[in-house]
């Protein structure tokens, strides 16, 4: 069995952002030469997510609106966590519901997706550099 470990870096210009990283992950799988295996993709920060869903702009806005309803950024004084001097309690909660990682099967050298599945990086406390781990195992 072979294994490849890579890191992708992201820095969004806004506090929140949703980036389709499918092609980057596919590129790493191609480079790895692995034909049959598994690909793990996980956010390495507790205020960002990696998740799988549709690449549709209306849905991305729906996610953002829904997450802001569940855990609004303002007022920042509404969260105990922000007593630490941070202002990102909402980002921790948003990350929790959108998830930490995804695992996708690799079949014949490609991500074995269902229809419309795409891998997204969800940022909830952006404007700084953050890392995503990609671990590919197989043969």
Sites of contact with Zn ion (CB under 5 A) = 86, 88
Beta strands across the sheet bearing 101-107? 2-10, 130-138, 37-43, 101-107, 110-111
Q: What's the closest the beta carbon of residue 129 comes to Zn ion, in angstroms?
A: 16
Q: Which is nearer to Zn ion, 26 or 86 (CB)?
A: 86
Of 52, 47, 42, 44, nearest to 17 by C-alpha is 47
- The least CB distance from residue 94 to Zn ion, in Å, is 12
Nearer to Zn ion, 37 or 122 (CB): 122
Least distance CB 86 / Zn ion (angstroms): 4
For Zn ion, the closer of residues 2 and 127 by Cβ is 127
Please identify, using beta-carbon distances, which residue of 69 and 83 lies nearer to Zn ion.
83
Quote the least distance from Cβ 119 to Zn ion, whole Å: 25
DSSP string, 69-134: HHS-S--GGG-GGGGGS-S-HHHHHHHHHH-SEEEEEEETTEE-PPTT-EEEEEESS-SS-EEEEE
């Amino acid at each position: 069995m072979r294994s490849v470990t890579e890191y992708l870096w992201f820095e969004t210009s806004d506090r929140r952002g949703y980036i389709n990283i499918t092609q980057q992950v596919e590129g790493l799988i191609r480079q790895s030469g692995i034909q049959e295996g598994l690909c793990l993709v996980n956010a390495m920060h507790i205020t960002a997510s990696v998740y799988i869903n549709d690449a549709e702009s209306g849905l991305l806005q729906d996610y953002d609106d829904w997450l802001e309803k569940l855990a609004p950024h303002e007022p920042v004084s509404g969260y105990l966590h922000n007593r630490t001097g941070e202002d990102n309690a909402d980002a921790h909660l948003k990350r929790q519901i959108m998830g930490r990682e995804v695992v996708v099967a690799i079949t014949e050298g490609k991500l074995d997706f269902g229809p419309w599945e795409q891998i997204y990086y969800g940022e909830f406390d952006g404007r700084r550099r953050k890392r995503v781990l990609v671990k590919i195992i197989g043969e």
